[in-house]
């Protein structure tokens, strides 16, 4: 039996590794096609490597191609899959090194091609200092540009386009590298699709405090280049000087090959799968990672949430099932976290905008508290916002912003959302307490009490 995997990062290699654990090389041949030069790496770590918090690029690689091959997985780097024939059960891949084509048959197929960055036509400028941050190769290219490889003088001015997770993290990385940085965001506040506006305003304040110029409600018309280098970003308000431009405009499911092969896509553009990560309507075709859509456990609607946490879990589920076991991936609730310098930002469940779009009537409660007992050294302020259904008090979502020891409290709130708790039930949660770690009333509990009052008042 042969398993062919398209994509050698989190989802694809998790699927291959789990299948291999259950079926030995004598009974299952595994071939993985990866268009890049690396496998099993943390794309989320790229901004921290560029900014200097992580010294060694290779520290981002969880398992090398050689390690996978040692485990009996035939990893073929620099191979781009260009076609899938479902009837005759084979894939066609192009060897990017010599341009030749390879045809490989399969009994099971895992489609784990990830996501493609959103890139406007004006940003498709080759070798001029305009970069995305999608792959480890992108990180290498940014590092080389910043280090002056082929660029003299070294870049001094950076423009980051997009104020989501990647944009905010890359803006911080650029300022840590000593560049003058401008961050452009089309929404009224940064992280506008992630948190509510008042939380986004706190992020904007923190970004500005780093010395980053942030322009909201921004529109970009294009870039200016000269002598093979970017010189400026063009906006309706004028040109912004730039020696490097970093794009952080989000991603879309990379499903063009799947679509051409007739695999079913959902309204988000991602592949539709069942709970076992099998592509709907196909017995031996599986999909996982940033190329699939999944179910939001609060709204029940299909969503595309491209995060490494989900990709690893989905790949693991697919591999277990291919290997003869049984596993499911039930869905997501949108838990995520990031930081800007020492400001931590986290969310789970629905934002106020998302709750309204889903048709909920809801109340909100926002509290200011501290990470530790107020008298204990190092206590820092944090803000917790809860969103609860008006009638039932069901916790719909939560957001946290604060300094050290703030963001990981989102995990307790994520568990509450996942288990469909009401805010009143949450007031009795048995959370840990000691002055170095929390006030006697943890900020999560204070917010739950205030949200309960709002529900009863409604």
Active-site residue list: 44
**φ, ψ at 278 (rounded to 5°):** -85, 135
Distance CA 159, CA 234 (A): 11
Question: Which candidate, 188, 15, 244, 182, places its Cα nearest to that of 111?
Answer: 15
Write b or e for each residue in 308-321: b if 16 or more Cβ atoms lie within 10 A of its Cβ, otherwise e.
Answer: bebbbbbbbbbbbb
Q: Which helix (H) or strand (E) holds 373?
A: none
Query: Is 210 in contact with 175 (CB distance < 8 Å)?
Result: yes
Distance CA 264, CA 280 (A): 7
Distance CA 157, CA 232 (A): 9
Distance CA 257, CA 395 (A): 39
Q: What angle do CA 39, 46, 354 make, to 5 degrees?
A: 100
Q: What angle do CA 79, 85, 88 make, to 5 degrees?
A: 120
Q: What angle do CA 33, 38, 42 make, to 5 degrees?
A: 115
Residue with structure tokens 């009974």?
27
> Side by side, which strands form the sheet with 90-95?
79-85, 90-95, 101-105
Taking the CA atoms of residue 125, residue 130, residue 135 and residue 138 in that order, the dihedral angle to the nearest 10 degrees is 100
Q: What angle do CA 265, 269, 273 make, to 5 degrees?
A: 45
Q: What angle do CA 289, 291, 297 make, to 5 degrees?
A: 65
Question: Which candidate, 125, 179, 128, places its Cα nearest to that of 154?
Answer: 179
What 3-state DSSP class applies to 6? strand
Structure tokens at 400: 């946290």
Query: Is 333 in contact with 396 (CB distance < 8 Å)?
Result: no
- Residue 368: alpha-carbon gap to chain centroid: 28
Question: Which candidate, 274, 123, 306, 152, places its Cα nearest to that of 131?
Answer: 123
**φ, ψ at 230 (rounded to 5°):** -70, 140
């Amino acid at each position: 039996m042969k398993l062919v995997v398209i994509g050698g990062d989190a989802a694809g290699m998790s699927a291959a590794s789990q299948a291999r654990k259950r079926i030995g090389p004598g009974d299952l041949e595994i071939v993985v096609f990866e268009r890049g030069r690396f496998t099993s790496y943390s794309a989320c770590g790229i901004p921290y490597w560029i900014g200097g918090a992580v010294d060694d690029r290779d520290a981002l690689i969880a398992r090398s191609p050689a390690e996978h091959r040692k485990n009996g997985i035939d990893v073929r780097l620099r191979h781009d899959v260009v076609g899938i024939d479902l009837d005759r059960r084979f894939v066609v891949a192009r060897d990017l090194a010599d341009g030749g084509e390879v045809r490989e048959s399969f009994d099971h197929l895992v489609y784990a091609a990830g996501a493609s960055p959103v890139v406007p036509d004006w940003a498709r400028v080759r070798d001029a200092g305009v970069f995305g941050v999608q792959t480890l190769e992108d990180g290498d290219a940014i590092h080389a540009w910043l280090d002056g490889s082929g660029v003299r003088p070294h870049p001094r001015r950076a423009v980051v386009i997009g104020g989501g997770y990647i944009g905010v993290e890359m803006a911080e990385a650029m300022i840590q590298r000593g560049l003058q940085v401008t961050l452009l965001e089309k929404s009224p506040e940064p992280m506008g699709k992630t948190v509510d506006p008042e939380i986004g305003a706190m992020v904007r304040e923190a970004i500005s405090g780093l010395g980053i110029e942030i322009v909201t409600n921004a529109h970009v018309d294009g870039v200016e280049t000269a002598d093979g280098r970017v010189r400026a970003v063009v906006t309706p308000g004028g040109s912004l000087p730039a020696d490097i431009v970093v794009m952080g405009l989000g991603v879309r499911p990379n499903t063009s090959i799947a679509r051409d092969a007739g695999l079913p896509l959902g309204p988000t553009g991602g592949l539709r799968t069942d709970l076992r990560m099998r592509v709907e309507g196909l017995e031996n075709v599986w999909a996982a990672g940033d190329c699939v859509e999944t179910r939001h456990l609060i709204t029940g609607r299909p969503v595309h949430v491209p995060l490494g946490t989900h990709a690893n879990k989905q790949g693991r589920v697919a591999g277990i099932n291919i290997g003869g076991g049984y596993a499911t991936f039930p869905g997501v609730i949108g838990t995520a976290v990031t930081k800007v310098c020492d400001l931590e930002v986290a969310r789970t469940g629905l934002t106020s905008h998302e709750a309204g779009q889903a048709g909920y009537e809801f109340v909100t409660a926002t509290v200011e508290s501290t990470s530790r007992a107020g008298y204990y050294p190092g206590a820092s302020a944090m803000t917790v916002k809860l969103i609860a259904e008006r009638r039932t008090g069901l916790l719909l979502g939560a957001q946290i912003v604060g300094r050290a020891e703030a963001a990981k409290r989102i995990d307790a709130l994520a568990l509450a959302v996942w288990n469909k708790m009401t805010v009143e039930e949450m007031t009795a949660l048995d959370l840990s307490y000691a002055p170095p770690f929390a006030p006697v009333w943890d900020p999560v509990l204070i917010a739950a009490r205030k949200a309960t009052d709002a529900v009863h008042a409604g």
